Chains A and B, each alone.
Chain A
Amino acid sequence: MGEWSSFTAVVRGLCLLYVTNKYLGTVTITYGPSMLPTLNVTGSMLLVERISTRTGKLRPGDVVIFRSPEAPRKIVCKRLIGLEGDQITYVVDPQSGDRCETIVVPKGHVWVEGDYIYNTKDSRNFGALPYGLLEGRAFWTLLPRKDFGPLTPKPE
């Protein structure tokens, strides 16, 4: 009987973990230069919550994770710049000048950009992101230790 009760305890623990992961929040590890200086190049561990994306309470300036529209198995982390209906002016290619373009974010979509605009693949490359691809909002950095704390607004 002892093995059975510990087995059910394990099953219950896994169910709780699954429900938490799917509906409440998760931990994600990011790497790459596209979100400098906010995130670390060699890797950051972020705490992500899924409630804001489910209830639709996201605001521009939030750091969000989403499923890449070009590589569906990849989870990408960028900053939310605009919601549907917002008018976005962006620099098309920062490395080759200051040419700007202005668009309105279509219905059911959002506009995301990396903080380090010189080396990032974001909505400037793949266009407005369908809202259904959003996975969660990152709100706290766990690692590296020196960055432990809430994620900051976009540096000017």
Chain B
Amino acid sequence: VGFGLIMCASVKYSSRGPALIPRMKTKHRIYYITLFSVVLLGLIATGMFQFWPHSIESSPEWTLDRRSVHDAPLVKLPVSSPIPERGDLSCRMHTCFDVYRCGYNPKNRIKVYIYPLQRFVDEVGVPISSTGLSREYNDLLSAISDSDFYTDDVTRACLFVPSIDVLNQNSLRIRETAQALAMLPRWDKGMNHLLFNMLPGGPPDYNTALDVPRDRALLAGGGFSTWTYRQGYDVSIPVYSPLSAEVDLPEKQPGPRRYFILSSQTAIHREYRTELERLKEENGEALLLLDKCSNLSQGMASARKRCYKGQVYDYPQILQESSFCVVLRGARLGQATLSDVLQAGCVPVIMADSYILPFSEVLDWKRASVVIPEEKLPEMYTILKSIPHRQVEEMQRQARWFWEAYFRSMKAIGLTTLQIINDRIYPYAARTYEEWNNPPVVKWSSVSNPLFLPLIPPRSPGFTAVVLTYDRVESLFRVITEISKVPSLAKLLVVWNNQNKSPPEESLWPKIAVPLRVVRTKENKLSNRFFPFDEIETEAVLAIDDDIIMLTSDELQFGYEVWREFPDRLVGYPGRLHLWDHEMGKWKYESEWTNEVSMVLTGAAFYHKYFNYLYTYKMPGDIKNWVDAHMNCEDIAMNFLVANITGKAPIKVTPRKKFKCPECTAIDGLSLDQTHMVERSECINKFASVFGTMPLKVVEHRADPVLYKDDFPEKLKSFPNIGSL
């Protein structure tokens, strides 16, 4: 209901709406208020719509839920119930994991089953866990069951997650928990079972992995050392910090902070605290060493306060005031402090020898943290000082991003774990390093060139000239004759875009030394010129209009040579520029004699055949249709596409010459007047809005032959005939 209303409103008001908010007139303001009220009303209405019926409908289910937790079936464990084996250190995916259960799956997605809740008790009725199902484990299971990993069909499952909570070993009775695991109907030596544990081990030695015997089960553990972690089998996960949910710390801009190093942990070993205090003595104010507060008034949550010499600080807020934050090991290697520190965008200085960092299988911690051996604690200050400022800023941003994406909730932790396992089972569909590690702002601003290998393709395959033509046969034949003189031409492809007229008979075409093919198109569309025809067998494509006869053979051959040096760019002849029109507040197209170039016209340009694919199948938004409908700007669209994906400017070759208005071909009949320029400017604005950015890059250079215009005998030059026509 709400949606329809909004749609109507937008249609109704858009036709008369104002252009810019600052220049709003009273009349417009009314429109705006109306519009927003409608939106607001819609929001409220939708909200009501969502919640009312929903809560009514699901009320029986809530009771069902409640019943299932409190009245989950009680299972009594006989004393003699089997205990699983301790867990095999040599387990790997290919030995201890049954991959057949995951099978071939076109979506490359594993299916995860969660066991129904049961309450396990021993023979005398004492539960196996002192806390039962914890809030965190419940959150985790709920998140999995809401994700597309979840299946309730046990026969289709690839991975099984017990509903027995083993997050905190302290609350477990080891033997009984193990017996309970072995009683799970599909346990089968723990094959394909995944356990989540954050606090492993117990006194006095605190093992770095869960002590519960678990056969071959995979362990997502929060404090592995290199000795207990089975690389490629277990998953190292963070220790969740409940403060993540309690405290809302807005992201802070990366940059220098009040303190350089901050230590906020309360249970630091005396030897380390002495070292830290020595560092503080040497470096003074740059360090802040906090400890727990000894004399807090009643009622204040001690977890949220830290003290230094009687001064009280809010935790974790104070973490935002420091560039680096110390995360020292405790009894266990994994520390919840790490999560708090990341949330604050403070760069963690991790001192926990042999610790396997959370999700280290996929996360590049070198970009977000500093790992220092415990032994080197005295050198911490010097080490951190040697890190370049810009890197500290990047690490701060990266730290915060890791928290947001992988640490902030049990859901994030759980789904990341599943994704990592998913990546192992379908490695060819695994998430990339960039997807895992680049924060959104980097993903947005960076480019990953699909033609990234530095290659200069050999000259010999030559290029395929693709001539788009409608019915200017005479001119076309002249172009064909001219191009056929270019030494590296491998094939000529004429794209016959006129459906009403057949191409001339074969005998009438110019006789040339290379194969000449004519393809007839079904529709007179501009985008046909960029279609990846099978007939194009070379990497290099020369797109050329049927009236470009002013390019010499030397110029074309030279253009091809330049393209070989820049196979991932557009290499063309006439250059154009986009400019920001401050008065109008929008982009403007410029074809005058400028000192800069940001586009080359595809009326005569070399480019990689790959871009034909991109243009035809991957052009964002409705640009392709828009170009075909307007019969204009296909070249601008191509320039946008290439610049956007490679991050590189095109290359203009050879001097400017009087082209016979190359841009007019598309709009035959119209002279190069203002309409044309306005239309081209509109294209730029349209495309920039579709791309969501202005990808075009401006450069001030063009490519000429090495000896161009040099005082040197012309006959010794490779490309003497440049700029003559």
A, B bound: no
Interface residues of A (CB under 8 A from B): none
Interface residues of B (CB under 8 A from A): none
